Amino acid sequence: MGDTFRAVVTDRGGSDYWNGDGAYWFVTAHNEVTEILRISGLPDGEQEVLFAFEEHYTPIGAEVVVRAAGIGDTWTPDGTRFRGKATVLYDAFLEKYVVTGVMRSPWAEERWRAAAWFVECDGSKRTVREGSSPAGSSVCRERGTVASAAADGEACRDAQRETVRRLSEMGRGLTEWYADRFGGAPPGPGSAVRVSHYAAVTAEEAEASVVPTYLERVERFDGWGRSLSLGLGLRGLGPGGRALLIRSRGSDGAFDTDDYRVGAFPGGDCGADIVWADGSLAKWPK
């Protein structure tokens, strides 16, 4: 790939403490990558990285292991080897590489599950989070404080706002392209958007038609660093004059549906799809 990546995967341990506002969470292990096993190309310039890592318990993690053994709960020995995989992509807006979709599995057999990780801020480990949302990397909480739902909500809204900005900006250029190609303004999303009415295209196919006349570049990723889905009438109009579609999967990385009722959704619903179609937003956070 021409670039060197240093990755640290961290397991999350939970205590039984509850302080009214939320649960305390503690780092129980530091898992250091020991070997890059394979790098494979994915669509839209993403790279899937398979790697090996070893799990080493922190002092509090070692104490948890001892106490767990006392009640018959077995944890893996210190230094156990695991498989890991993640998606690495370059975000042109952030001008940096982003690691998403971090997964882990036992070494002996492939049983994948989402990995936990921590965010480093000012050189200290302050935020422990589950999953791998790039938007979460902007959120830092003080060490030892109660986990803040408000901070999570802030990260969600930041990613949603950035996604809306990207879709709207790209949509303006696509609207100009539509007017020149088809001799008028797009019809708007109406009351419903059906994905089957649009011709799916890759970012490269879209760029060949709209860059640089209508756009400087075609956005590939949303505010979570996940690939956008594009529909563009390069070969003509779909039913009802449909030709322009941009979709974000939201934080969960999975589309909710292929048939949308146009309208806003609660801003706290981080996993909801954000959709722009034929001239304006069709699904957007309040």
Helix, strand, coil distribution of the chain in percent, nearest 5: 25, 40, 35
Q: Residue 59's CB: how many other CB atoms inside 10 A?
A: 8
Residues whose CB is less than 8 angstroms from the CB of residue 100 and which lie 6 or more positions away in sequence, other chains included: 86, 87, 89, 132, 133, 134, 224, 225, 226
The segment with the largest mean pLDDT, out of 61-65, 117-121, 174-178, 239-243, is: 174-178
**pLDDT of 92:** 66
Say how far apart CA 47 and CA 57 lie, in whole Å: 30
Query: What tens digit of pLDDT does each residue of 55-64 get?
Result: 888 888 788 8
Residues whose CB is less than 8 angstroms from the CB of residue 237 and which lie 6 or more positions away in sequence, other chains included: 182, 243
- Helical spans, DSSP H, in 121-202: 149-182
Q: By the 8 A CB rule, do 64 and 13 touch?
A: yes
Query: What tens digit of pLDDT does each residue of 158-188 get?
Result: 889 999 999 999 999 999 999 999 898 899 9
pLDDT exceeding 90 applies to what percent of the chain? 32
Q: Which residue has the higher pLDDT, 141 or 91?
A: 91
User: What amino acid is encoded at 13 in this protein?
Assistant: G
Half-sphere exposure of residue 39: CA atoms within 13 angstroms, side-chain side: 12
pTM of whole model > 0.75? no
Token pair listed for 96: 């940096």
Q: Residue 187's CB: how many other CB atoms inside 10 A?
A: 16
**Is the pLDDT confidence value at 23 over 80?**
no
Q: By the 8 A CB rule, do 103 and 115 touch?
A: yes
Nearest to 19 by CA among 150, 152, 143, 146: 146
**pLDDT of 26:** 56
